[in-house]
Structure 1
Amino acid sequence: MQDAGDEKTTLVPVVVNPFGYQVLRGISAVKVPVTADRRSDGSVCLKNQFLVAIVNHQGEVTSLQLLEKPRELISVGQVGNKLVMFDDIPLYWDAWDVMDYHLETKRSAINKVIHPLTIIRKGPLEVKLEMSAKVGDHSELKQTLTLDAVHPYLKFDIDISWFESHKFLKVEFPVNILANQATYEIQFGHLQRPTHFNTSWDWAKYEVCGHKWVTLSEYDCGVALLNTNKYGHAVHGSTMRISLLRSSKSPDSKADMRCHQFTYALMPYNGTFQSAGVIQQAYQLNSPIQVFHTSATSGLKIDMSVPNPVVLLDKHESMSWFQVEKEAVIIETLKKSENHENCLVIRLYESYGSHVTTSILSLLQIVKAILCDGLENPLPKNDIHWSDGKMTLSFKPFQLISVLLFLKSNI
């Protein structure tokens, strides 16, 4: 990690407790560094403790393997992270419709490489590669590829000046995975969609919704695409795509004509996506650790006068305000109550699609816990018992539970 505002800041490995903090007072050593080796053909071989990838001069992934179970996960003769362009001319509603016939107009989006792939940071905690290119007729992009020592994915950050007309930019990853269904994350869960066009219903799903991740998997391995703010996806056969940018001209002729920044990541894994931690890694990608410069204060307390409680630090080197015993349960929201004084709202959901009973632990001085609905109204059945700093909740598959947590008044 590093302070994002200063590229010269020293990188250090750190483990931060969930819903908590870690005070940094020194630099730790990394046990398994990340490496980048330039090859004779101009490509770069990247390696960390999880994976090894080869990237060509255009930033395209020509090879991807897991170290634990070596197997080529990029389709033979193809490349991943391939930026592709489509003509986007709907019949009626320019800014709303996407017609299926646009898929027949695919071509490479990169017209000219301005600066080929260059290593701008070389370990031991992080490797960064950078390239820039002309895209379409009037656009340019800068792409940064990052592999660090602690995450099991290759990350792509794109800055693009987008000034096209009726064009659709996507990125695709042809992977060596055979499956009839792909899995897409939606809010508070996930769903499956076909990877084939066997029926007219299947054909109508040439683009489907997805939030933080989409994954294609076989029995014992798979590949996941994580992202931060792009929600149109498609998996056709073994090719995974994310829709990046459109350029409609009606009703707004200048819609999206500006600079854009977005991030996505390629994560191979063994086992199931649940056991491999795809869900948790996607949350980490979307909620990176924040670095603050702070000093000791007189006493540890929670400031309830702001919308989100602020922890004031003193002698404690690390702290975790909330922890969930079972990884299947995700704390989606922690906020100050809108309707109750000295009260927090915690909202959790079951993310694996299973029945699970788990304990939720906290170091806060909580005196009472009450089940509530989405509007923070107490529910008729309130059988939560808060004792010894924890409560126990039982979840059905994808169930969402909200709880009012009343704090001790003098905290």
Structure 2
Amino acid sequence: MHDDRGLVEARLKRVLDERVRPAVYPESVPLEVAVWNAPGEPVSVAEGLAAPVTPAAVGDPWGPPWGTSWFRVSGTVPREWAGRTVEALLDLGFDENMPGFQCEGLVYRPDGTPVKGLNPRNQWVRVGAPAEGGEEVVLHIEAASNPVLLDYHPFVPTRLGDIETAHRDPLYRLARMDLAVFDETVWHLVIDLEVLGELMAELPVDSGRRHDVLRAVDRALDALDLQDVGGTAEAARACLVDVLARPAEPSAHRISAVGHAHIDSAWLWPLRETVRKVARTTSNMTALLDDESEFIFTMSQAQQWAWIKEHRPEVWAKVVKAVEGGRFVPAGGMWVEADTNMPGSEAMARQFVHGKRFFLDEFGIENDEAWLPDTFGFAAGLPQIIKAAGSKWLLTQKISWSQTNKFPHHTFQWEGIDGTRIFTHFPPVDTYNCAMKGSEIAHAARNFKDKGVARHSLAPTGWGDGGGGTTREMIAKAARLRDLEGSARVVWETPADFFAKAEAEYANPPVWVGELYLELHRATLTSQAKTKQGNRRSEHLLREAELWSATAAVREPEFAYPYADLDRIWKTVLLHQFHDILPGSSIAWVHREAEKTYAAVAAELTALIEQAQRALAGQGTQPLVFNAAPHARHAVAAGGAAVAEAEEAAELSARPDGGFVLANERLRVEIDARGLVVSAYDIGAARETIAPDRPANLLQLHPDFPNMWDAWDVDAFYRNTVTDLVEADEVTPGEGASVRVVRSFGASKVTQLLTLAPGTSRLDILTEVDWHETEKFLKLAFPLDVHAERYASETQFGHFYRATHTNTSWEAAKFEACNHRFVHLEEPGWGVALVTDSTYGHDVTRTVRPDAGTTTTLRVSLLRAPRFPDPETDQGAHRFHHALIPGATIADAVREGYAVNLPGRGVLGAGPVSPLIEVDNDAVVVTAVKLADDGSGDVVIRFHEAHGGRARATLTPGFATTEVVVTDLLERPLAEPQPTDGPVPVTLRPFELRTLRFRRV
């Protein structure tokens, strides 16, 4: 008997690697190989199968970056293999350590029937079980030569991230194309030994169970003849029966395994490749479901399901059949696994609307869970959106990636800004790519923080990121872990079954209030500025298009509401909110295409808006302004067309130092000869905004070289070095009350226009940057003479408060945070806001001056220049609009945030157009006015309390109506309809979201 675990482990590893695993396929014969290389983008299956092929051989190079090769493999099963299990082994040149990040394939039969996907951990195709002997085998492989881009140590800048800059040399060599005998007994021995070896490695050194397993493994290896593994495998397995049969302790942790393949809708591959990744993975999973009766697989992201339906109907048919069987389970109920920090209120709502509706329409299935395993933190407004969509649970594991603070719970209630609570689970396995390794299962049990009051956790099981899914090896391991002494118990379950059990056993879980902030990947709030601007612009154009189209459809009988166009455009915008597109962490190809897509979206939405406005304005020469902002004058709540009015004047004068003064009745702004704001004096409040001796509108440049994730991360040490950009090339008057400032630094140039609008307290700052820096971070700083322990930043359907101090490590870790249209700081009785048309990242710090006053510095993040995965990130011209508003209340911040993002549109027409809906309380903000998605012609209004207090308001429809009903986000009734032919009173809690549906006469 060996007492030294290390010796047994070393013996086990060598025997497995050098003798047992190779014996799984004891005999093989080569297949004949031929190939056709598609000259450009991927072709249809029919074209690929019909293409002329030329001979090829194992060892041949193939596949330039992003290319497609169609291989034809053929052969005959030897007659002496009759009665044995035979598989084709198809190795395209894989590195088994990188599933999902390299070449992949999808195998078809000659008639175009999909068989299964190929990846580094799934290289086999079953030919016969048993084989008859003499069968002719012909298979076609659609092989994608996707380049390996992920190299963690270090990340290497590469031109391979775009087909336009990648070389055309082959990346891979065919490694194996064989028919082989599959020895199932040896394969099971491999699984037995792996499970027990991994279990032994996790058991305490002095555990009796460890010694039992050690002795059994030792006996099994003794029983194995290394020159006749196949002939002695059964005897070796017999030595392991007893230790594998011993049941788990009654108190063992329970793990619900869910088959899973987290597939990034774009990341280190373009969108078009994701379509094929999904087809490969789902082909594998439907085949596995046929073979494994207990296996359950779940897939989120309705967009990916829609891609299969549209592009791979032959795969879709298999998926539909598997869903009908109840073990291929739609999950999550969102269009994509979106970023949740940056999408606006309506966009976040529509993620659930379009996702849930797809699964309802296609399968009659409604998801109760939000499924976001890899999203980079969770905004505080999300819980009520989940609830308003008809869901009640949330799953993610990403918070386990936080660098500073360990999250204190795995199962808890998450409370959002309005008080809504969502039952939430973080799988303690700490991965969405669980492979059923003993180390993973042991970690989940040890790591689970809710022991004693709960005992269930979930393990998303299967290769992900680039897809692949669950393997037969994982399923075999799970079978052995169902009831095994020393291990947690593992059972396959649907997400719904898991959550129902977890919620039932944990009657009073702890509560976490506010955002779920990820202490990592903070720079995703800034990377790829054009992608972020495209998203913000698209969201507001969609608001306008729905509003004016609904108004025109109600007012003008001949106007057709563009249901199909809006549905399609929404889905395009939602797709680009995926958590590696909007955050700026995808390859250059993805963001190049995104910029073109956003331009096309803008053009199409602008055309829809103009079409509706022309119908509403009628024929005439009267100047009109259509303004969709909630608080636009003469357009309360939902917007309307209003005649422009004259406003108060603003003036420009010179300062003795060569600077300038901008002033009106409300605000006096002094800009020195360097183009810096040294004073912003609120005349009505008789107080200064800018901190003493600390100029605002200060551009600051930092080095930006994070420890690891280039496009994703900014590390706290970036603040240690800063260059203030105070030298100006020119500071000159602009048109009207404005000042033009030009600066040069490095290889870049900044042009700013600072304008004080008449009749406002708003200093508008337009910043144009011709950016050509590398590994730099550009900030725009506003040191404010404000004593505030917290500040507000806009999030979905409200705002969220964060501390300005760093009392604890939790606060210190939030050194870069997200806002939507505004950030607001306030002392009792006086505040200041900064609003933006397109930036999201910011930081707030505070210091105490020698005069004992407090300087609170707000800095917005403008641009970065990481080199991976896109070496040209953000290079080129950019334009940003910010506005500083001294004396602002939260109400002012809300109003001006919309005003900056939704300027009026001037047209000529017959006369003013009255709003489709009016609201008499500015605290109630309408986020959507549209016609009901079911084509009924009903008008749907979505609104929320935006100031953080209780609100009473009256909604007055500008159309004839017979009844109104409160609905969920999918426009389904939540209560009985109420008759109405006019104004509707509403009462809202702080930040409460509500949707009303008006039936028209």
Q: Identify the TM-score tier after normalising by the shorter chain.
A: 0.7 to 0.9
Q: CA deviation at 1:344?
A: 2.2
Q: Is the 8 A contact 1:51 1:67 kept in 2?
A: yes
Pairs within 5 Å for 1:254-403: 254-269=872-887, 272-274=889-891, 277-294=892-909, 296=910, 316-379=911-974, 381-382=975-976, 384-387=978-981, 389-403=982-996
* 1:241 paired to 2:859: yes
Q: Is the 8 A contact 1:59 1:145 kept in 2?
A: no
- Given residue 348 of structure 1, which amino acid in structure 2 is its aligned partner? F
* 1:51 paired to 2:661: no
Pick from 671, 689, 704 the counterpart of residue 73 of structure 1: 689
Deviations 1:254-275 (A, max 9, x none): 12112111111101116x433x
Pick from 759, 776, 785 the counterpart of residue 167 of structure 1: 776
Which residue matches 1:84? Answer: 700
Deviations 1:66-100 (A, max 9, x none): 11121122111110110001111111110001101
TM-score normalized with structure 2 length: 0.35
Which residue matches 2:734? Answer: 120
Deviations 1:128-163 (A, max 9, x none): 22122213x111121111111133210001111111
Q: Is the 8 A contact 2:843 2:859 kept in 1?
A: yes
Q: CA deviation at 1:404?
A: 1.6
* 1:20 paired to 2:634: no
Measured at CA, do residues 113 and 254 of structure 1 come closer, stay the same or move farther in structure 2, by a change above 3 Å?
same
Measured at CA, do residues 318 and 150 of structure 1 come closer, stay the same or move farther in structure 2, by a change above 3 Å?
farther
Q: Is the 8 A contact 2:677 2:696 kept in 1?
A: yes
If asked which structure has higher relative contact order (CA below 8 Å, sep 6+), I would say 1
* 1:103 paired to 2:722: no
What CA distance in whole angstroms lies between the structure 2 residues aligned with 1:327 and 1:382? 28
Q: Is the 8 A contact 2:834 2:893 kept in 1?
A: no
Which residue matches 1:3? Answer: none
What CA distance in whole angstroms lies between the structure 2 residues aligned with 1:99 and 1:323? 47
Q: CA deviation at 1:213?
A: 0.8
Q: Secondary structure at the match of 1:152?
A: coil
Identity %: 30
Q: Is the 8 A contact 2:706 2:714 kept in 1?
A: yes
Q: Secondary structure at the match of 1:293?
A: strand
Deviations 1:193-228 (A, max 9, x none): 111122211110111111111111111112111111
Q: CA deviation at 1:117?
A: 1.9
Q: Is the 8 A contact 1:153 1:265 kept in 2?
A: yes
Q: Secondary structure at the match of 1:292?
A: strand
Q: CA deviation at 1:383?
A: 5.2
What CA distance in whole angstroms lies between the structure 2 residues aligned with 1:248 and 1:396? 43
In proportion to residue count, which structure has more strand?
A: 1
* 1:132 paired to 2:742: yes
Q: CA deviation at 1:29?
A: 4.6
What CA distance in whole angstroms lies between the structure 1 residues aligned with 2:978 and 2:675? 52
What CA distance in whole angstroms lies between the structure 2 residues aligned with 1:108 and 1:38? 24
The unaligned stretches of length 5 or more in structure 2 are 1-622, 626-631, 847-855
Which residue matches 1:308? Answer: none
Q: CA deviation at 1:384?
A: 4.1
Structure possessing the higher radius of gyration over alpha carbons: 2
What CA distance in whole angstroms lies between the structure 2 residues aligned with 1:399 and 1:15? 24
What CA distance in whole angstroms lies between the structure 1 residues aligned with 2:775 and 2:679? 33
Q: CA deviation at 1:357?
A: 2.2
In proportion to residue count, which structure has more helix?
A: 2
* 1:141 paired to 2:754: no
Q: Secondary structure at the match of 2:984?
A: strand
Q: Is the 8 A contact 2:823 2:893 kept in 1?
A: no
Q: Is the 8 A contact 1:384 1:391 kept in 2?
A: no
What CA distance in whole angstroms lies between the structure 2 residues aligned with 1:368 and 1:164? 59
Q: Secondary structure at the match of 2:692?
A: coil
The unaligned stretches of length 5 or more in structure 1 are 1-9, 297-315
Q: CA deviation at 1:359?
A: 0.7
Q: CA deviation at 1:17?
A: 2.4
Q: Kindly tell me the number of residue pairs found equivalent between the two proteins.
A: 361
Which residue matches 2:655? Answer: 39
Q: CA deviation at 1:371?
A: 1.6
- Given residue 382 of structure 1, which amino acid in structure 2 is its aligned partner? E
Q: CA RMSD in A?
A: 2.0
Q: Secondary structure at the match of 1:404?
A: strand
Q: CA deviation at 1:173?
A: 0.6
Q: Is the 8 A contact 1:216 1:222 kept in 2?
A: yes
What CA distance in whole angstroms lies between the structure 2 residues aligned with 1:207 and 1:80? 19
TM-score normalized with structure 1 length: 0.83
- Given residue 288 of structure 1, which amino acid in structure 2 is its aligned partner? P
- Given residue 391 of structure 1, which amino acid in structure 2 is its aligned partner? V
Q: CA deviation at 1:321?
A: 2.4
Q: Secondary structure at the match of 2:894?
A: helix
Q: CA deviation at 1:385?
A: 4.2
What CA distance in whole angstroms lies between the structure 2 residues aligned with 1:166 and 1:204? 22
Q: Secondary structure at the match of 2:688?
A: coil
* 1:206 paired to 2:815: yes
Which residue matches 2:827? Answer: 218
Measured at CA, do residues 383 and 338 of structure 1 come closer, stay the same or move farther in structure 2, by a change above 3 Å?
closer
Q: Is the 8 A contact 1:179 1:218 kept in 2?
A: yes
Which residue matches 1:60? Answer: 676
Q: CA deviation at 1:318?
A: 4.8
Q: CA deviation at 1:407?
A: 2.4
